[in-house]
Structures are given as C-alpha cells and as structure tokens.
Amino acid sequence: MALIGPSGRPIAAAKQDNGAAAPAGGAYVKDGSIETFAADVIDASREVPVIVDFWAPWCGPCKQLGPALEKAVNAAAGAVRMVKINIDENPEIAQQLRIKSIPTVYAFKDGQPVDGFQGALPESQVRAFVAQLAGGHGGADHAAEVLAAADEAFAAGDVAMAAQAYGHVLQDEPGHPKAVAGLARCYLKSGDLERARATLQLVRPDGAGDEAMRAVEAELLLAESAGKASGDEAPLRAKLEADPKDHQARYDLALALDAKGEREGALDELLEIVRRDRKWNDEAARKHLVTLFEAMGPADPRTLAARRKLSSILFS
C-alpha cells in the first residue's frame, strides 16, 4: 500500500506519533491520521485485522455506523481493531484510497485491504462483518459470536453475509455442526438444494445429531417434497369441497401451502387428515407433521401449538 505522506515519502516510512492516536471509543478503537496510518493500520494489520472507518462530522450515516462498528469491535475484545479517519482532516488518505462517498469502511489484513463496504449497515450486519473479519481469533467463544452474527444476518435477509460468516467458522473448525447447518440453510434459501445436501455431508461425526443439523435436514426434505407438489391450490380446494374425505388432495394442498411459505395453513390441513383418518397412507400426515416440527424446532410457537392439537387428536 503505497500511500504518500505530506513530505512526499511513503507513509510506511513515516514515524508513528503515539500522541495523535488516542482511543476514540474503547481500548480497541483509535483516531488515525496520515502520520499514523502506517503504524496504526498497515503494520498493526500484520498482527490482527484492522477496520478503517472513513467518516466526517457532517455525515449523518457516519453517526449511525460509527458507534455500531465501535461496539462490535470492542465486543471482539482484541480479535480485531479499528482506526477512524476523519476525511476533512486527512484528505490525502481519502484521495489516495479513492474514497468517493462516506461512510466507507476498509478492512486490512497482513498490510493489505481485504474487504470493505460503503454506506451505513444494520447493526446485525455490522456485527457479522466484524465477526467474519476476526475469524480465527478467540476460540470457541469467538466461534459462538460469529455464529450468532451469522444467524442475525440470515434473519435480516443478508444470506451472502451469513454464508461468509458460516464459512469462516468452518475454516477454523471444519465440520462444526451449527456452521454446516447454517451454510446449508443459506443454500436452501437460495434454492440450491443440491449444494445444501452436499454441505450437510461436511458435518463432523459427533455433530450429525445436532438440533440445527436435524432442522436443516428436515427443511431439505420439505423442500424436496415441495418440488413435487402442485403449486395451484384451486383444483385441490375444489376436490376437497366435492369430497372432504379426499385425503390425498388435502395432503397435496398442505405441501402446496408449505411451498408458498404458509406453514400454519399446512399444519392445519395435516392435522385435519390425522383427525379424520390417522392411519391414512401409513400415517403420512402425522409423519409429515413430525418433519415440520423438526424443521421449525421444539421452541417455535407453531410447533408448540400444533403438538398440543396433535396430542389432543391422538389421545382423545
């Protein structure tokens, strides 16, 4: 990185001014300048990743992003550090790194920029960005933080960010069941069932029974079933109106509803089959309910409600 200082020399040769780099927001965050950039960013990133936040006092989004970055960096407890560069006071750095808008964030590792983004991000995505960059530092506790950030990114709809974070955990801990499950879930979300299926095979032997793994395996089965189901509800509802005992039509309707994301409707139709004829088709409706419960997880309110209804039907 050949940044040029005010003297015309590369700033890698500039002398560090410790007094100009006081902490800005915690032990792992400091203000930087053209004079300290080499020491605070380029040299420091050879030991631990360094995030550089380019901002200015007049920038509204910067006031939203900066505190979120500082919070995430301080929570990483040394696994990553942060340097804040006020572009009004340091226009040379902004010009040489071609900063065209702020906030802009660069991540440095081993003396080179390796990642970055522009604009303010939701706090969950900021945490995922920091956790991903800090991959490999902090052991089991850090892996848990990365997974939590990945889960939040997935829930926020940022599947790409979530997949990267799950992938970082797998680089450090091959076969980690929750990371394997999370990455497979990302492929499922994007509709790539084949890669989801292949990803599940990466789990280490002792993780095959993990709750997250079972949930994704169940979701994969459901996605495969949905692929075989008709997407048109109208003919199925017409069949049921003509014959409420047409259990195959009701079963197909449940699959079609679930494929559209209407899981509660699917649960209701399957429960109705069990109520009418619990033994139908080798208990297909009850078995599919169990798969749905597995996919949603035991604590999901929909699971709890449907289980109560199923128990009431089976034991009444």
Q: What's the pLDDT at 20?
A: 36
Q: Are residues 238 and 308 in the same domain?
A: yes
290 part of a folded domain: yes
* Residue after which a domain boundary falls, among 169, 204, 226: 226
Is the pTM higher than 0.75? Answer: no
Which helix (H) or strand (E) covers residue 310, if one does? helix 301-314
pLDDT at residue 2 above 80? no
What separation in angstroms does the CA of 122 have from each of 51, 86, 125?
Answer: 17, 22, 5
Active site residues: 59, 62
pLDDT at residue 33 above 60? yes
**Pairing relation of β-strands 81-86 and 50-55?**
parallel
* Residue after which a domain boundary falls, among 226, 254, 288: 226
Spatial contact of 178 and 145, defined as CB atoms under 8 Å apart: no
Task: For residues 295 and 283, give the distance between their C-alpha atoms in angstroms, rounded to a whole number.
Answer: 19
Q: Are residues 205 and 268 in the same domain?
A: no
Q: pLDDT digit string (tens) for 122-137? A: 887 888 888 878 765 5
Q: Are residues 222 and 236 in the same domain?
A: no
2 part of a folded domain: no
pLDDT at residue 47 above 80? yes
More confident residue, 42 or 156: 42
pLDDT at residue 5 above 80? no
Q: What's the pLDDT at 264?
A: 96
Instruction: Please count the structural domains in the chain.
Output: 3
pLDDT at residue 27 above 90? no
Q: Are residues 153 and 185 in the same domain?
A: yes
Q: What's the pLDDT at 142?
A: 67
127 part of a folded domain: no
How many residues are recorded in the chain? 316
Q: pLDDT digit string (tens) for 229-250? A: 656 889 999 999 999 999 999 9
Lowest pLDDT segment from 2-11, 242-251, 303-312: 2-11
Domain around 275: 229-314
* Residues whose CB is less than 8 angstroms from the CB of residue 152 and which lie 6 or more positions away in sequence, other chains included: 124, 125, 127, 128
Q: What's the pLDDT at 131?
A: 81
Assign residue 54 the CATH number of its domain: 3.40.30.10
Lowest pLDDT segment from 2-16, 71-85, 235-249: 2-16
Assign residue 207 the CATH number of its domain: 1.25.40.10
Instruction: Report the Cα–Cα distance between both ends of the chain, in Å, rounded.
Output: 74
88 part of a folded domain: yes
Q: pLDDT digit string (tens) for 177-222? A: 999 999 999 999 999 999 999 999 999 998 888 999 999 999 999 9
